[in-house]
């Protein structure tokens, strides 16, 4: 649960600043707010922390994906390559802008396989969305190479890897744009919320306009008199979220540091189990340690291991059967059951191809996720937890 575990006096103080002015909206009310601009301060601090030029706060990670795709001009007729293992929102965001998500395979990092991504490129491909799942980086360097070779945009979905890095550079700053989620489960939380990063002034402005009905946010005129170049919608972050974000961001390094310690301790217990291998990491130093993923030689052993661990008080996630994070399990998605009765954008004059999502097309995801168990790591490990894990692992060892 990460940042959510550390909510305390710092969050209360930041939120109190906002409540004292009574201005809950990030824009306007310049006199009443008496200098309090929490969303703006959060954006500036977040951009600085990640080493990006521009940051834009939005209502959620899902909204961040959609706003970024809009800024990148992804739309009807376009295809976007997305890994088979990700939260549903990554696919939904592509559909939201009228484009078609194209499923690619994963590799031993549990993230997008650069070779599979390349094999999915067609004349319609506009962008690739690598997802840094379970807090650790994809082979982002090789994915960037594929994108460059084929003239594709890269939008990093770093909803799960806030604070992570690859070779010293923060995740979310490699592609043209990167997004983050601050929902309640994520590494830091604002209840609900999201952030978009980019180094491009042009992409930032397009995202900024789109997320607020086209408002150009001209500081020299009142909000009512602001100009506009494009139509947009409302994905504005509010001041309470900004306040929470500021407090949580100040705790991010501590969250990651504690998780790393706890993860290392649990990992050393599991190391003794025959056949156990740990998830491949392109850069172990960049892991946020929110999850410990390990695998066993085959699916039967993996399920058995999960059962024994659970019976002894240690719950793990078996993503191959998870209903929200693996494409083959999304029956409504496979049925192309969008909210539109015409199945737009799957069925659309702009997109004449018949698209199917088959398990046969993602053999490595089928194999690897079928042998993988994932253990969530907490910031505060209750006393005695390591003993419980040690005993559960001893039982598993005997049973396997």
Ligand X SMILES: *Cc1c(COP(=O)(O)O)cnc(C)c1O
Catalytic residue IDs:
186
**In 250-351, which residue ranges form alpha helices assigned H by DSSP?**
252-270, 299-311, 331-334
Q: Is 373 a binder of ligand X (CB under 6 A)?
A: no
Closest CA to 378 of 120, 10, 5: 5
Closest CA to 327 of 135, 92, 117: 92
Here's the x/- map for ligand X, 131-160, by CB under 6 A: it reads as: x-------------------------x-xx
Q: Is 89 a binder of ligand X (CB under 6 A)?
A: yes
Closest CA to 252 of 150, 350, 135: 135
Beta-strand relationship, 125-128 and 153-157:
parallel
Single out the residue of 90, 187, 248, 372 in contact with ligand X (rule: CB under 6 A). 90
Beta bridge partners of 55: 197
- Number of chain positions touching ligand X (CB under 6 A): 14
Cβ atoms of 235 and 27 within 8 Å: the answer is: no
Residue among 183 and 258 whose Cβ is closer to ligand X: 183
Q: Is 243 a binder of ligand X (CB under 6 A)?
A: no
Single out the residue of 60, 125, 187, 189 in contact with ligand X (rule: CB under 6 A). 60
Closest CA to 197 of 146, 162, 243, 244: 162
Here's the x/- map for ligand X, 376-395, by CB under 6 A: it reads as: --------------------
Least distance (Å) between residue 162 CB and ligand X: 10
Q: Which residue is nearest to ligand X (CB)?
A: 61
d(CA 4, CA 190): 9
Cβ atoms of 266 and 382 within 8 Å: the answer is: no
Least distance (Å) between residue 119 CB and ligand X: 22
If 0-12 CB within 10 Å is exposed, 13-18 middle and 19+ buried, where does residue 383 land? exposed
Residue among 61 and 163 whose Cβ is closer to ligand X: 61
Q: Which stretch binds ligand X (CB under 6 A): 15-23, 58-66, 77-85, 229-237?
A: 58-66
Q: Which stretch binds ligand X (CB under 6 A): 26-34, 57-65, 245-253, 392-400?
A: 57-65
Residue among 16 and 234 whose Cβ is closer to ligand X: 234
Report residue 22 as tokens.
């009574």
Residue among 90 and 316 whose Cβ is closer to ligand X: 90
Least distance (Å) between residue 397 CB and ligand X: 32
Of residues 171 through 200, those in contact with ligand X by CB under 6 A are 181, 183, 194
Single out the residue of 11, 62, 103, 319 in contact with ligand X (rule: CB under 6 A). 62
Q: Is 61 a binder of ligand X (CB under 6 A)?
A: yes
Least distance (Å) between residue 30 CB and ligand X: 29
d(CA 52, CA 67): 18
Residue among 187 and 262 whose Cβ is closer to ligand X: 187
Closest CA to 285 of 174, 143, 135: 135
Report residue 139 as tokens.
């082979």
Residue among 64 and 203 whose Cβ is closer to ligand X: 64
d(CA 169, CA 235): 28
Q: Is 83 a binder of ligand X (CB under 6 A)?
A: no
Closest CA to 128 of 178, 164, 166: 178
Supply the DSSP string of 115-162, one letter for each residue.
Answer: HHHHHT--TTEEEE--B-GGGS---HHHHHHHHHHHT-EEEEE-TT-T
Q: Which stretch binds ligand X (CB under 6 A): 55-63, 110-118, 347-355, 364-372?
A: 55-63
Residue among 85 and 204 whose Cβ is closer to ligand X: 85
The residues that touch ligand X, with contacts defined as CB under 6 A, are 60-62, 86-87, 89-90, 131, 157, 159-160, 181, 183, 194
């Amino acid at each position: 649960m990460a940042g959510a575990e550390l909510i305390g006096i710092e969050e209360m103080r930041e939120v109190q600043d906002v409540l004292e002015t009574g201005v809950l909206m990030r824009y306007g009310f310049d006199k009443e707010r008496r200098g309090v601009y929490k969303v703006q301060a959060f954006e500036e601090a977040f951009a600085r922390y990640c080493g990006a030029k521009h940051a834009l706060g939005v209502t959620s990670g899902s909204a961040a994906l959609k706003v970024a795709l809009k800024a990148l001009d992804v739309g009807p007729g376009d295809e976007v390559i997305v890994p088979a293992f990700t939260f549903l929102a990554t696919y939904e965001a592509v559909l939201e802008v009228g484009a078609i998500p194209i499923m690619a395979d994963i590799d031993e990092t549990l993230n997008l396989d650069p070779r599979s991504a390349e094999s999915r490129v067609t004349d319609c491909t506009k962008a690739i969305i690598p997802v840094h799942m379970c807090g650790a980086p994809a082979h982002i360097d090789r994915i960037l190479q594929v994108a460059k070779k084929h003239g594709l945009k890269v939008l990093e979905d770093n909803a799960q890897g806030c604070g992570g890095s690859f070779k010293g550079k923060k995740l979310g700053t490699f592609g043209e744009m990167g997004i983050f989620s601050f929902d309640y489960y994520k590494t830091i939380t604002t209840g609900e919320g999201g952030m978009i990063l980019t180094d491009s002034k042009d992409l930032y402005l397009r995202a900024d306009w789109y997320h607020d009905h086209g408002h150009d946010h001209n500081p020299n005129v009142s909000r009512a008199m602001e100009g506009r170049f494009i139509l947009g919608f409302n994905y504005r972050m509010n001041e309470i979220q900004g306040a929470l974000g500021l407090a949580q961001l100040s705790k991010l390094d501590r969250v990651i540091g504690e998780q790393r310690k706890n993860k290392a301790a649990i990992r050393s217990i599991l190391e003794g189990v025959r056949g156990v291998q740990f998830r491949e990491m392109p850069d172990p130093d960049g892991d946020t340690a929110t999850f410990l993923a390990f695998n066993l030689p085959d699916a039967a052993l993996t399920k058995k291991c999960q059962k024994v661990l659970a019976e002894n008080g240690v719950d793990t996630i078996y993503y191959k059967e998870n209903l929200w994070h693996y494409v083959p399990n999304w029956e409504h998605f496979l049925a192309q059951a969008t909210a539109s009765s015409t199945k737009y954008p799957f069925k659309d004059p702009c997109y004449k191809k018949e698209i199917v999502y088959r398990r046969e097309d993602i053999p490595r995801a089928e194999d690897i996720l079928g042998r993988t168990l994932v253990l969530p790591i907490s910031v505060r490990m209750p006393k005695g937890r390591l003993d419980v894990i040690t005993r559960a692992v001893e039982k598993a060892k005997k049973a396997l």
